[in-house]
């Protein structure tokens, strides 16, 4: 296990509109970076789950409209008719310990990750 803190940044670009979201911090294992492109509305609408959005379904249960807010707070309505293409890109950002407070680490890492972080960084006494 390496001794670093990571944050994952997910960017959704659909029809030229972009939405960025950040996940919680992770410690140790390097998260995977990915990039997926979509040319078909149905494939994209069924796969999109990383970015908060509202999906409207037709009577058969298929997604026929996706509403999401872009980085500027404007709600975008994407339908099969106006869908051109989409790309979902996941990037990993390495944090230095000096960039993150101990309180932030305690709140945002899982308990196991936080304890491992403390152990790896010199904590020698543990609660019983």
CB contact set of 27 (below 8 Å; sequence gap of 6+): 4, 5, 6, 105, 109, 113, 114, 116, 117
Alpha carbon 95 to chain centroid distance? 16
**Three-state secondary structure call for residue 72:** coil
Residues 14-47: pLDDT tens digits? 999 999 888 778 888 888 898 999 999 988 888 7
DSSP code at position 109: S
Q: What are the tens digits of pLDDT across the range 80-100?
A: 999 999 999 989 988 877 778
* CA atoms in the 13 A half-sphere facing the CB of 68: 23
pLDDT of residue 125: 65
| Distance, CA of 2 to CA of 30 (rounded, Å) | 8
pTM, entire model: 0.70
Q: Of the ranges 1-5, 34-38, 113-117, which one carries the lowest mean pLDDT score?
A: 1-5
């Amino acid at each position: 296990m390496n001794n670093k803190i990571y944050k994952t940044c997910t960017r959704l670009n659909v029809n030229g509109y972009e939405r960025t979201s950040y996940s919680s911090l992770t410690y140790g294992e390097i998260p995977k970076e990915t990039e997926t492109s979509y040319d078909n509305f149905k494939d994209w609408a069924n796969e999109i789950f990383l970015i908060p959005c509202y999906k409207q379904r037709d009577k058969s249960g298929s997604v026929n409209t996706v509403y999401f807010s872009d980085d500027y707070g404007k709600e975008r309505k994407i339908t099969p008719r106006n869908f051109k293409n989409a790309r979902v890109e996941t990037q990993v950002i390495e944090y230095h310990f000096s960039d993150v407070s101990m309180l932030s680490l305690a709140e945002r890492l899982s308990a196991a990750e936080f304890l491992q972080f403390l152990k790896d960084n010199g904590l020698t006494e543990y609660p019983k």
